[in-house]
Chains A and B, each alone.
Chain A
Amino acid sequence: MAKVLMKGNEAIAEAAIRAGCLNYFAYPITPQSEVAEYLVKRLPEEGGVFLQGESEVAVGYMIFGAAGAGERVMTTSSSPGISLMSEAISYIAAAQCPAVFVNIVRGGPGLGGILPSQGDYFQATKGGGHGDYHLLVAPDGVQEAVEMTMQAFTLAEKYRGPVMILGDGLIGQMMEPVEFPDNLKTEPSNKDDWATNGMDTRKSKKRNLVKSLFLDPTELNNNNLALKAKYDQMKREEIQFEAYNTDGDYKVLITSFGTMSRVCRTAIDLLKEEGIEVAMLRPKTVFPFPEQAVFDAATKKSCKSVISIEMNMGQMVEDVERCVKGQRPVEFYGECGGDIPSPEKIIEIIKKMI
């Protein structure tokens, strides 16, 4: 298919349909309402389901219900809305239902602002609701958002759990050329073993139960062990990252993700023209985190220090420090008012480090 020029939000919406997700529930919030405005037109054409819920709280459970019944389902929201949905996400993780959440992150805390931010890193990677759970999350620009959205449904079903696309306001609002790779569409997995899709539907006499309540301590512990086993498997099988300019003898390693990494890439190119070698390690999955890759890139002989550059006040940097294990100093630079740090600013900071 030919490339088309699309806004990130609309591209994510179309990607969901191309991935075979025909069920969407959502509540409006800037800067991602275009997803709903797009799908309210497109889903009926495909015979799908569109519903605007009364709140993000309710939408979270509409997603839970639909996922529990075995159907592919997605919602999109932005930071404050994701906070409200976090209750449901915790339940969905515990009850092991596949569902896709898109967070087009805006500034916080509180109402914050509507401009791009990466302030929800902690919430997304560490489990923003209660209990022990993680989301498989995957960020970046419009084309990558399309591909990751399409893959998200397959991953959600593989691991029977929530997957989150962690975007930001810029990715949602920016237009870039996109393609929708047909090969990323997968057939929905067989859900007869666990989904409440009706005993008649699966021609079974055994009923299925979707629940997150385990009053017996052993049973609850076992459920948590089962969840942990999945997270461990994700760490083995799903880590994605990009290493940029890591072949040369770089003195500084930047860690950065999503929109921020594009700015860093420009800064690295400009520094190269001046003869200064800087590399970047960009996690594409922020959970599972590319622990080994960060360690390896940071401890390369030429590399003297590491800096994590983020559109927040220092969140991913904690994971970077954890991975570098004290082998190199780890610095941080971040802005989170909504203005994205410029390449010039990053160049200035890097030069100070050298």
Chain B
Amino acid sequence: MQTEIKFAGFGGQGILLSAKLLAYAAMKQGSFVAWVPSYGPEMRGGTAYCTVVISDKLIGSPIIKNPTHLVAMNRPSLEKFVDDVKPGGIVFINKSLIPGGSDRTDIIKLEVPINEIAIKAGSVRAANIVALASFAAKSKLVDLDLLKDCIKGEFAAKAKIIPLNMKAFDEGVNFANNN
């Protein structure tokens, strides 16, 4: 069983980090994982994306054309990648920046106003954690407590911001569970 998740958005939206945290939690859970970024000039300003592959066996090709799920943080990303998602997959849509949605009916749409939730939790800067948490809750790919531990570990050097991110995480999970 192999699952692939594409994270896409503007550079600076925390995409690479969110993807890394998910991969990290999956690794701790005992899965094989790979985190494959796009790199180079396309990182500067434009759309940044990366793919996480989670599998119960050794990962062959880490280059994925049709991912299982998509986390779209901005509109260009959604437009560019939504048609690639396999039927039945979750498409996370950052409702704060993407007014429309997708016409596809064979996918599970998860629309989350991450900026508003993050602001309510304390700061807009935790928006990427809201996104990660709600996607993780919906997809059930990794244990949520384990993922929280990974976030704490990542921010260990900046302990002050851990409570904010934990709150944002819980709010993200709540939203996903109630919508």
Q: Do chains A and B touch in the complex (CB under 8 A)?
A: yes
- Residues of A whose CB lies within 8 Å of any CB of B are 3, 5, 30-31, 114-115, 169-170, 173-177, 262-263, 265-267, 269, 340, 342-344
Given contacts A5-B23, A5-B24, A342-B65, contact A170 B60 (CB under 8 A): no
Q: Which of A3, A30, A266, A344 contacts B60 (CB 8 A)?
A: A266
Q: Across chains A and B, which 10 residue pairs bring their CB atoms closest together, nearest first?
A: A266-B60, A175-B35, A263-B61, A266-B61, A265-B60, A114-B40, A340-B63, A177-B27, A174-B36, A262-B60
CA distance A8 to B40 in the complex (A): 16
Given contacts A174-B35, A177-B27, A177-B33, contact A30 B40 (CB under 8 A): yes
Which residue of chain A has the shortest Cβ distance to B25 in the bound complex? Answer: A5
Q: How far is the CB of A124 from chain B (nearest CB, A)?
A: 22
8 Å CB interface, B27-48 against A? 27, 32-37, 39-41
A263, B63: Cβ atoms under 8 Å? yes
Q: Which of B20, B39, B61 contacts A114 (CB 8 A)?
A: B39
A5, B36: Cβ atoms under 8 Å? no
B33, A342: Cβ atoms under 8 Å? no
Q: List 22 A-B contacts (CB under 8 A).
A: A5-B20, A5-B35, A30-B40, A115-B40, A170-B36, A174-B34, A174-B37, A175-B20, A176-B33, A176-B34, A176-B35, A177-B32, A262-B59, A262-B61, A262-B62, A263-B60, A263-B63, A340-B61, A340-B63, A342-B65, A343-B61, A344-B65
Which residue of chain B has the shortest Cβ distance to A341 in the bound complex? Answer: B63
Which residue of chain A has the shortest Cβ distance to B62 in the bound complex? Answer: A174
Which residue of chain A has the shortest Cβ distance to B21 in the bound complex? Answer: A5
Which residue of chain A has the shortest Cβ distance to B63 in the bound complex? Answer: A340
Given contacts A30-B40, A114-B39, contact A170 B61 (CB under 8 A): no
Given contacts A174-B34, A176-B35, 14 further A-B contacts (CB under 8 A): A3-B27, A5-B35, A169-B39, A173-B39, A174-B36, A175-B23, A175-B36, A177-B33, A263-B61, A267-B60, A267-B61, A340-B63, A342-B61, A342-B65
Q: 1/0 per residue B59-92: CB within 8 Å of A?
A: 1111101000000000000000000000000000
Q: How far is the CB of B23 from chain A (nearest CB, A)?
A: 6
CA distance A159 to B9 in the complex (A): 49
Complex interface: chain B residues within 8 A of A115 (CB): 40
CA distance A114 to B62 in the complex (A): 18
Which residue of chain B has the shortest Cβ distance to A344 in the bound complex? Answer: B65
Which residue of chain A has the shortest Cβ distance to B38 in the bound complex? Answer: A173
Complex interface: chain A residues within 8 A of B39 (CB): 30-31, 114, 169, 173
Complex interface: chain B residues within 8 A of A169 (CB): 39
CA distance A333 to B39 in the complex (A): 25
Which residue of chain A has the shortest Cβ distance to B32 in the bound complex? Answer: A177
Q: How far is the CB of A146 from chain B (nearest CB, A)?
A: 15
Q: How far is the CB of A81 from chain B (nearest CB, A)?
A: 16
Q: How far is the CB of B28 from chain A (nearest CB, A)?
A: 9
Which residue of chain B has the shortest Cβ distance to A34 in the bound complex? Answer: B39
Complex interface: chain A residues within 8 A of B33 (CB): 5, 176-177
Complex interface: chain B residues within 8 A of A263 (CB): 60-61, 63
Complex interface: chain A residues within 8 A of B35 (CB): 5, 174-176
CA distance A273 to B145 in the complex (A): 37
Complex interface: chain B residues within 8 A of A5 (CB): 20, 23-24, 27, 33, 35
Complex interface: chain B residues within 8 A of A342 (CB): 61, 63, 65
A173, B36: Cβ atoms under 8 Å? yes
CA distance A175 to B19 in the complex (A): 11
Q: How far is the CB of A14 from chain B (nearest CB, A)?
A: 17
CA distance A30 to B61 in the complex (A): 23
Complex interface: chain A residues within 8 A of B34 (CB): 174-176
Which residue of chain B has the shortest Cβ distance to A263 in the bound complex? Answer: B61
8 Å CB interface, B110-129 against A? none
CA distance A342 to B65 in the complex (A): 8
Q: How far is the CB of B30 from chain A (nearest CB, A)?
A: 10
Complex interface: chain B residues within 8 A of A267 (CB): 60-61
Q: How far is the CB of A168 from chain B (nearest CB, A)?
A: 12
CA distance A30 to B33 in the complex (A): 24
Complex interface: chain A residues within 8 A of B24 (CB): 5
Which residue of chain A has the shortest Cβ distance to B40 in the bound complex? Answer: A114
Complex interface: chain A residues within 8 A of B37 (CB): 173-175
Q: How far is the CB of A83 from chain B (nearest CB, A)?
A: 20
B27, A343: Cβ atoms under 8 Å? no
Complex interface: chain B residues within 8 A of A173 (CB): 36-37, 39
Q: How far is the CB of B158 from chain A (nearest CB, A)?
A: 17
Complex interface: chain A residues within 8 A of B59 (CB): 176, 262
Complex interface: chain A residues within 8 A of B62 (CB): 170, 174, 262
Complex interface: chain B residues within 8 A of A269 (CB): 60
CA distance A140 to B66 in the complex (A): 24
